[in-house]
Amino acid sequence: MPKTYKIIVTGRVQGVGFRPHVFNLATKFKLNGTVSNNEEGVIIYLTGDEDVVRSFYRILTEHPPKASKIKEHHLYEAQSQHFDGFHIVPSKKAGKLNLQLTPDFAICDDCKEEITNSDNRRYHYPFTTCVNCGPRWAITNSFPFERDNTNLDVFEMCDTCTDEYEDPSNRRFHSQTNTCSNCGIQLKLSTANGDILSAEHPIQKTAILIKEGNIVAIKNTSGYLLCCEANNAEAIKKLRERKNRPSKPFAILYPSLTLLKRDLKINEIQEKTLTSPESPIVIIPKTNFTGDLALNELAPNLNQLGVMLPYSGILHLLAKELEIPIVATSGNIHASPIINDETMAHKELNGVADYFLDHDLKITNPQDDSVVKFSPKFNTKIIFRRSRGLSPNFDTEIDTNKKIMAMGGHLKSTVAFLPNDYLYISQYLGNLDHFDVFDRYTSTVERFMKLFEVTPEVVLVDKHPGYNSTRHGIELAKSTTAELKQVQHHKAHFASVLGEHALFDNESGILGVVWDGTGYGDDAQIWGGEFFTYQNGEMKRVGHFDYYDWLAGDKMAKEPRISFFSLSNDTMQSEICQKFSKQEISVYNHLKKKESLQTSSVGRLFDAVASLLDLCNFNTYEGEAAILLENQITDYQLENCKSYVSEMVNGTVPTKELFNNLYLDFKTGKKKEEIATNFLYTLATVVLKMAEQWNIQEIAMSGGVFQNTVLVDMIKELSGSEYKLYFNRNLSPNDENISFGQLMYNQHIKIER
């Protein structure tokens, strides 16, 4: 006797071709019923024999669409219903949103083939997508994921697209982003002055303009990119000058994997990442480079390049026309967020770009490209920027009924929101000192609350009173009558790793090592070289790098030479005199005598070493000194390394002794590479010495310093099998993880000391 059953599937199940997949599977099993989206996921009703329905259920949950991620699935017997065939029915929203959002996906191979096949009706149409690929989060206004809730609702499908949409055998069956050149998004090419350029194929013309040495602002599917030829040194210099970006490396878009592998040596995991649905920028060593790139202009003084492959139809078609690598950097002015609006782009980038390639698809959620790197020896994945393709979902278990908003940090800000059964972490937003970034940050907070129709009951902020994220969190808590809680910056970092690896039930004890540039400490000093322990809900600070003077406020982070000055002693005056005028020396000596603010920052220690070695006295971008220091190391053998720290007393690392011992090597003429290697070796041994002192075998590490892939490899190599090591793996170790760490800290820490 046939019965009716209800199946509920939750997780990332909308915008991934789940309903068409269910339709075809139900048809195969000859089951009648319906499938629809709602605010919680996918709802399926089936009428049939129990054994057939259970077989359907097993196949569905074991072999879902490749872009989906099922969190939970349930099968219930329901009230008997009669269905005439099987149908996809319109979504009904009966409550507040409670499902994972769908990130953007790189263009799939099938769509790539169509847009480059002259016999296909989608030939040269750059916005070709299917159920397996294309923009999702970038163009979404609301959920459930239906065309009406995206920016494609203004483009009415033509008859041919409608036929595809209604054909169960077509991979565009119920594809909400389906369009073609007859009914879809239109390109427009113009000069910086706004004069429209007539071109039958605007992308072909754009390629010609780039090859002629021009800079073109291209509206991609997640925001604008500034592009120029990567082999043309003069064009790159022009872009640097106009964008006010003197030395920060540019991302390079290679036209194909074949050309990339011809120019650069990449390993299997790098290739897999480059060609993944997320398609991030991957930072790769330029060892044995054989191509024609203008290396010095693209990545000044660096032995690595950030490369990516075309991940959208626009970029794929452009790459086909060019057949050469191009610069593809975020379309913004210095320190501002990526631009997504045509009017804003033409206003802000008028003095940067020579031409603009625009389109008429609105972008609701602009995102930078994500950036990852793998450590040279152990291929440890380190996320440098979590954005397009990776945000806004985050898989974790949080046991609370409270609606919580975590406001994150200040320099590499993100927002984390827990409005339902899922956690959402925004894309990287940037430095909140800048008005445009802060505006994007506050609008992201508002967007989350509007999307989920929920205001927070708890607001979590950093303890730093001057952070704009803290100030906005205080205002938000007042306006929503939410409970306000503060979480110390470095404790949030530690909690982020504990949360990523589900370590809060650990009873034997975990050492937390948190090293970064700056953070407001519990003692009102500037922390940044911290050691904690965690056990049974208790987090305790057990050590730190010995304090030294914090000079000139925020200026210290921008001028590595000031960190050198702070750590210097009388024997180092000849080097100091080369970096400072007599007047500056007088001023900083005066500050040293009266300064009461102290720091334990390992980030600033990196700066001091980089300045001493004449690698960098002034940062032109965040972390430049540390990157240049790591860049000195081409290879190392641990047996040839030495430590600059003899012993640690009461959990205190002797910062000035370390720096002085390093200086002695410098004075005796040791090579910069050897000193830099010994410095990182010293830091690696300090981690393990601290673990040994506390008799702890598990170590969790976070903070921007752990973006240093050589340091990560050294710690892994030194620890062998004696220690269990944990790093951030799905979040960046930098301040992007602070919002998540705040949530984890609030959830799990019962006692702090």
Q: Two tokens at 445?
A: 């907070």
Distance CA 751, CA 739 (A): 20
Backbone angles phi, psi at 220, to 5 degrees: -85, -170
Cα dist. 608→336, 490, 529, 568, 619 in Å?
28, 21, 14, 9, 12
| Secondary structure of residue 176 in the 3-state scheme | coil
> Which H or E run includes 526?
strand 526-535
37 in active site:
yes
Q: Two tokens at 392?
A: 């806004």
CB neighbour list of residue 723: distance below 8 Å, 6 or more residues apart: 688, 691, 697, 698, 699
Query: Kind of pairing, strands 355-359 and 216-219?
Result: parallel
CB burial string 724-751: b at 16+ within 10 A, e below: ebbbbeebbbbbbbbbbbbbbbbbbbee
Cis peptide before 144 (omega within 30 of 0): yes
Question: Widest CA span of the chain, in angstroms?
Answer: 96
**Cβ proximity of 460 and 405 under 8 Å:** yes
End-to-end CA distance of the chain: 65
**Cβ proximity of 275 and 207 under 8 Å:** no
Point out the catalytic residue in the list 12, 19, 136, 447: 19
Rg (CA), the chain: 27
Distance CA 134, CA 137 (A): 10
| Secondary structure of residue 281 in the 3-state scheme | strand
Which one, of 309, 288, 286, lies nearest residue 299 by Cα?
A: 286
| Secondary structure of residue 105 in the 3-state scheme | strand
Point out the catalytic residue in the list 37, 178, 365, 393: 37
Annotated active-site positions, please? 19, 37
